[in-house]
Amino acid sequence: FRFKDSLAEDLQNADLVISHAGAGSCLETLEKGKPLIVVINDKLMDNHQLELAKQLHRDGCVLYCNCSTLVETLRSMDLSALKPFPPGQPEKFASFLDKVFGLQ
């Protein structure tokens, strides 16, 4: 896609999502419960996308590759091995902030 205001409908209808490893893209896809392959851009300096992809892979939630290994990843993937992404717990973060600012 070049640009869309929202990918919500596309994500809802998808059987598999292949995306860059941006945090928003990853989290939105995983929160929808869709299997995800993240394709990292290994030419980026200070590659935070690689760090996120590796951590989500260690957690068992995604497969990751780069452009040159995407075809092999698609051929060898086992999507049944992926674990569901755990739901967020915003109340924990809110409680933390309350403590930091002395509101609790």
Choose between 25 and 45: higher pLDDT.
25
State how far the alpha carbon of 49 is from the alpha carbons of 34, 37, 39, 88, in Å: 19, 13, 9, 20
Would you say residue 20 has pLDDT above 80? yes
The topology (CATH level 3) of 7-101 is: Rossmann fold (3.40.50)
Question: In this predicted model, what pLDDT tens digit does every residue of 52-92 receive, in sequence order?
Answer: 999 999 999 999 999 999 999 999 999 999 999 988 888 88
User: Residue 12 has what pLDDT?
Assistant: 95
Segment 11-32 shows an average pLDDT of: 94
User: Residue 53 has what pLDDT?
Assistant: 94
State how far the alpha carbon of 16 is from the alpha carbons of 29, 74, 99, in Å: 9, 11, 40
Closest CA to 37 of 12, 10, 6, 62: 62
User: Residue 45 has what pLDDT?
Assistant: 62
Q: What is the mean pLDDT of the chain?
A: 91
pTM for the predicted model, two decimal places: 0.81
